[in-house]
Amino acid sequence: MNYTLHQLQVFHTVSRLGSITKAAEELHLSQPAISIQVRNLQEQFEIPLIENIGRKIFITEFGQEIAEAAGRILQEVNAINSKAAAYKGELIGTLRITSVSTGKYVIPTFLTNFIKQHQGIELVLDVTNRSRVRESLEKNEVDFALVSVMPENLQVDEIELMENKLYLVGSSREEQDLSNFGKKILQNIPLIFRETGSGTRHIMEKYIKQKKIPVTKKMELTSNEAVKQAIIANLGYSIMPIIGIRNELKTGILKIIPVDGFPIQSRWKLVWLKGKNLSPVALSFVNYLSKNKEQIIRENFEELN
């Protein structure tokens, strides 16, 4: 067996992303270079690692086992490199974070100074849907996940970052007097929902269920941006995290509709698998957040309180 760490890294990335193209983008390599490395690794084994069906690739069961083993090997190599650098007073390695879609308004701010302080850290940040966030966490593919709804049936450790406040939001072009509806407002206006599995939708539906509000769903959209544009176009109203609509509120495109019992509140949390052996980079980031999160909130999110 003469496979290299580079081949294992490439194959692990292809397996994780399920795509040669996406692996090439993440590793900053050409697609032919990725294919060559996978082919060279395949030559070390008599059992197929990948099946090509049409234009799609599928990782075989044996390939999955090799990819998982490669992931463990790469983690150990990164740990060795980090420990060696630590002896020289440096902090190097990869910090992998996955975040639910609305978290894109939150996590970069908490990362900025940490990354600037440690130039040897490579950041991999995946902003995706809640189900994919949970999967990445469960498979131990990432160091941390940023969530506003805790993943079910997973034992995790956590560090709270900040409040997540959700308001009923409408277009500033809407001239209808909604005060007439009082507490029954949600059952008298067209509501726009995020897709099933969205953290924002989960919080929204939990509130509606707890209050026993009869709501007829009018529209379902797959991103916060799509919801914002639909509200701006005066297609309806939605319950949205204020963190994602700050600019629209400042410019007056959107407005908050006063409703008793609002805002709905949850918490943004950075979580990781309980018992996970955090790398020096990951552990350093946790310590950094513990010491600096309050100052970061004051300097960047004060108007949300």
Q: With helix as H, strand as E and coil as C, how does 48-66 read? A: CCEEEECCEEEECHHHHHH
pLDDT digits (tens, 9 = 90+) for 253-297: 999 988 888 899 999 999 999 989 888 889 999 999 999 999 999
Residues 188 and 11: their CA atoms lie apart, in Å, by 53
Give percent above pLDDT 90 in the chain: 42
100 is a domain residue: no
Give the lowest-confidence range in 57-61, 165-169, 216-220, 293-297.
Answer: 216-220
Q: Which domain holds residue 255?
A: 163-266
Single pTM value for the model: 0.71
Give the lowest-confidence range in 74-83, 141-150, 187-196.
Answer: 74-83
Q: Are strands 144-147 and 238-241 parallel, antiparallel or unpaired?
A: unpaired
The CB density around residue 305, as the number of other CB atoms within 10 Å, is: 9
147 is a domain residue: no
Question: How many distinct structural domains can be found in the chain?
Answer: 2
Q: Would you list the DSSP string of 171-202?
A: ETT----GGGGGGGGGGTS-EEEEPTT-HHHH
Indicate the residue among 88, 122, 149 that finishes a domain: 88
Q: Are residues 167 and 254 in the same domain?
A: yes
32 is a domain residue: yes
For 238-256, letters b (16+ CB in 10 Å) and e give: bbbbbbbbeebbeeeebbe
13 is a domain residue: yes
Residue 86 scores a pLDDT above 70:
no
Q: Are residues 167 and 261 in the same domain?
A: yes
Residue 65 scores a pLDDT above 70:
yes
111 is a domain residue: no
Q: What is the mean pLDDT of residues 209-236?
A: 85
Question: What's the CATH number where 23 sits?
Answer: 1.10.10.10
Residue 70 scores a pLDDT above 80:
yes
The tokens of 109 are what?
A: 């701010």
Residues 44 and 3: their CA atoms lie apart, in Å, by 7
Mean pLDDT for the chain? 87
Residues 61 and 89: their CA atoms lie apart, in Å, by 42
- Helix 20-27 with 31-42: angle, nearest 10 deg: 110
Give percent above pLDDT 70 in the chain: 93
96 is a domain residue: no
Dihedral sign for Cα atoms in the order 246, 250, 256, 260: positive
Indicate the residue among 37, 66, 88 that finishes a domain: 88
pLDDT digits (tens, 9 = 90+) for 7-45: 999 999 999 888 899 899 888 899 999 999 999 999 999
The tokens of 289 are what?
A: 């957040």
Nearest to 14 by CA among 59, 51, 54: 59
CA distances to 37, 166, 184, 202 from 211, in Å: 56, 16, 10, 14
43 is a domain residue: yes
Indicate the residue among 88, 110, 142 that finishes a domain: 88
287 is a domain residue: no
Q: Are residues 80 and 172 in the same domain?
A: no
